[in-house]
Amino acid sequence: MSARASRTERAAGLPGDDVVPDADVVMDTAFDLPAPPAAVWPWFVQLGKRRGGYYLPRWVEAVTPRARRGLRHLDDDLLGLQVGDTIPDWGGREATFTAHEMTPPHTLVHRSTRDHVRLSWAIVLRAQGPGTRVQLRLRLAGVRHRTTARVLGGAADRLTVEGLAVGLRERLTSASGTDPAGSPGGEDDGRMATVSRHVDAPPTAVWDVLADGWSYSNWVVGASHMRAVEAAWPAAGSKLHHSQGSWPVTLDDEAVVEVSKPASRLVLLAKGRPLGSARVQLDLRSEDGGTRVTMTETPVSGPGKLLDNPLADVVLARRNTEALARLAAMAERRTTPGA
């Protein structure tokens, strides 16, 4: 799951910016969760060392000592956090955070001082359709090696937050009893790859590309060419037929529409031999004159479902990042190359 904040999110002022106004380093991350802010909020309230822990994916916690695994349930005894309360933090025996500002269920700001470094950590939850857009901002002042902190610290922060995002999504999905597509849970194992990007075109333009079944092989990585597209595409239940690989070695597969909400959501059950089937969900929402496109892929059958390891997740995320880049280029109708 990508945790990259958009350019607009990075530029926006957030609660807590005034706690460390002279920050040397600012790290912004953001991700989407499939539950409203009111459902997400208590998970952040109980977050912390010797509290709810840090929420990580199942595959990480499988090799983590039980005492260090994050809770997978809400504990009423940990939900009474108040402004001024101090909680332990990782990073040393004396490391702590103090709750500085709380506006349930949208804003939680922590502050801390570690030797010569002052920092603030803002957690902002915004309603996004039926779900939540989470933005985290870490501000640090008194940093001696700023470039190292920005580059290496920023990479470490993003990686850590990506783990948090997956861990939270697993917990919220389990609590709601639904999978990412909003259907009854139980078919997948909770592992998924989610990527997101901004497209400089309105949701209707992005949808036009998705609705053109014959363009499928132009943006889906691995699909070599189309063989047939049913006339009803992209209505629920309709199919498209494509091939994967390079001639003369190709495999014939198909994708079936499970959910179709024009200019909003498309959910496909895509068959991709030899790895099996995967549920692919594309969510579109208006953002800064364009569209925020979020793509989530969940293996549901075959060898792909059994490859429950970080390398497989990385490969899926990289492939789908490229797919969204191709989709963006088509929706934007570019006349010059873009990122």
For the chain, the average pLDDT equals 87
Contact assessment for residue 304 and residue 192, using Cβ atoms and an 8 Å cutoff: no
Residues 300-331 have pLDDT tens digits of: 876 655 555 555 666 778 889 999 999 999 99
Considering the chain, what percentage of its residues have pLDDT values greater than 90?
62
Residues 258-311 have pLDDT tens digits of: 999 999 999 999 886 666 788 899 999 999 899 999 998 888 876 655 555 555
What is the structure's pLDDT at 286? 93
Q: How many domains does the chain have?
A: 2
Q: Which conformational region is residue 92 in: left (phi greater than 0), alpha (psi within -120 to 50 degrees), or beta? A: left
Regarding whether 136 and 211 lie in a shared domain, the answer is: no
Regarding whether 258 and 149 lie in a shared domain, the answer is: no
Query: 184-215: b or e for each residue (b if 16 or more CB lie within 10 Å)?
Result: eeeebebbbbbbbbbbebbbebbbbbbbebeb
What is the structure's pLDDT at 187? 37
- What residues does 260 pair with on adjacent strands? 266
What is the structure's pLDDT at 168? 95
State which of 176, 209, 233 marks the end of a domain.
176
Q: Which residue has the tokens 């861990």?
A: 167
What is the structure's pLDDT at 317? 80
Q: DSSP letters along 310-322, please?
A: HHHHHHHHHHHHH
Contact assessment for residue 331 and residue 206, using Cβ atoms and an 8 Å cutoff: yes
Regarding whether 37 and 154 lie in a shared domain, the answer is: yes
Please tell me the least confidently modeled range out of 101-115, 152-166, 177-191: 177-191
Q: Is residue 186 part of a domain?
A: no
Q: How confident is the model at residue 180 (pLDDT cuts 50, 70, 90)?
A: very low
For residues 300 and 279, give the distance between their C-alpha atoms in angstroms, rounded to a whole number.
Answer: 7
- For the sheet containing 239-246, what is the strand order? 193-199, 290-299, 276-287, 265-272, 249-261, 239-246, 223-229
Regarding whether 202 and 133 lie in a shared domain, the answer is: no
Regarding whether 199 and 128 lie in a shared domain, the answer is: no
Beta strands in the chain (DSSP E): 25-33, 86-88, 96-103, 107-114, 117-128, 131-141, 193-199, 223-229, 239-246, 249-261, 265-272, 276-287, 290-299
State which of 151, 176, 201 marks the end of a domain.
176
What is the structure's pLDDT at 69? 87
C-beta neighbour count of 85 within 10 angstroms? 12
What is the structure's pLDDT at 189? 42
What is the structure's pLDDT at 217? 94
CATH number at residue 217: 3.30.530.20
Residues 89-98 have pLDDT tens digits of: 987 778 999 9
Span 39-51, mean pLDDT? 95
For residues 271 and 277, give the distance between their C-alpha atoms in angstroms, rounded to a whole number.
Answer: 4
| Structure tokens belonging to residue 214 | 């014959």
Range of the structural domain that residue 31 is part of: 7-176
What is the structure's pLDDT at 186? 34
| Secondary-structure percent of the chain, ordered helix, strand, coil, rounded to 5 | 30, 35, 35
| DSSP state for residue 77 in the 8-state scheme | G
What is the structure's pLDDT at 275? 63
What is the structure's pLDDT at 182? 38
